[in-house]
């Protein structure tokens, strides 16, 4: 009989750093700039990506030092998962916190970091622009809703 994977036996708080980091599916949606309405608290995504996000791999180009370059980069922690309403619906951290399982395309299940892109979950394939190329006052011209819609129906294994 096989042993259950760590994400089925541990809480987010019990995971070690390696386990925690492996929950990131590499979609890049967290690295898209978001705008918050100060009156309502509503958050919208933009297609403006962080200066450190590689638009093809959807990964941070300087992950270990990201907060030195981008001080506003949010450090995702178990406590933050509870507080951040804008985590995409397919986010592994969000799914596990909600008592759900990872989807088939998650690299921990598929064994392949490309399946998140092949399943259409990531920012890859969507037109994004680097934040250094857009004045911050123009970010509202780049509001998109597709990050909320990725993964619709993706829980089903294809074929």
Taking only the tens place, the pLDDT of each residue in 40-90 is: 989 999 999 999 999 999 999 999 999 999 999 998 999 999 999 899 989
Token readout for 55 is: 């638009």
Q: Are 5 and 48 in contact (CB under 8 A)?
A: no
**Predicted TM-score of the model (pTM):** 0.89
Provide, rounded to the nearest whole percent, the portion of the chain with pLDDT above 90. 87
Measured between alpha carbons, how far is residue 78 from residues 3, 54, 75, 121 in Å? 24, 25, 10, 22
Taking only the tens place, the pLDDT of each residue in 78-126 is: 999 999 989 998 999 999 999 999 999 999 999 999 999 999 999 999 9
- CA 110 to CA 58: how far, in whole Å? 18
Grouping H, G, I as helix, E, B as strand and the rest as coil, residue 153 is: coil
Q: Are 108 and 102 in contact (CB under 8 A)?
A: yes
In the block, tokens 């967290």 appear at 30
Q: Are 146 and 114 in contact (CB under 8 A)?
A: no
Determine the pLDDT at residue 96. 97
Element holding 94 (H helix, E strand) = helix 92-97
């Amino acid at each position: 009989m096989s042993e259950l994977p760590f994400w089925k036996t541990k809480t987010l708080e019990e995971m070690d750093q390696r386990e925690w980091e492996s929950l990131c599916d590499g979609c890049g949606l967290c690295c898209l700039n978001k705008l918050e309405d100060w009156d309502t608290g509503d958050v919208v995504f933009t297609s403006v990506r962080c200066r450190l996000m590689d638009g093809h791999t959807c990964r941070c180009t300087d992950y270990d030092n990201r907060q030195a370059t981008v001080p506003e980069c949010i450090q995702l922690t178990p406590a933050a998962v509870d507080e951040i309403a804008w985590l995409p619906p397919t986010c592994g951290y969000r799914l596990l916190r909600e008592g759900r399982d990872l989807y088939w395309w998650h690299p921990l299940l598929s064994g392949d970091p490309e399946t998140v892109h092949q399943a259409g979950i990531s920012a890859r394939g969507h037109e994004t622009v680097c934040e250094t190329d857009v004045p911050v006052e123009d970010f509202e011209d780049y509001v998109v809703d597709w990050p909320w819609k990725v993964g619709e129906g993706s829980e089903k294994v294809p074929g």
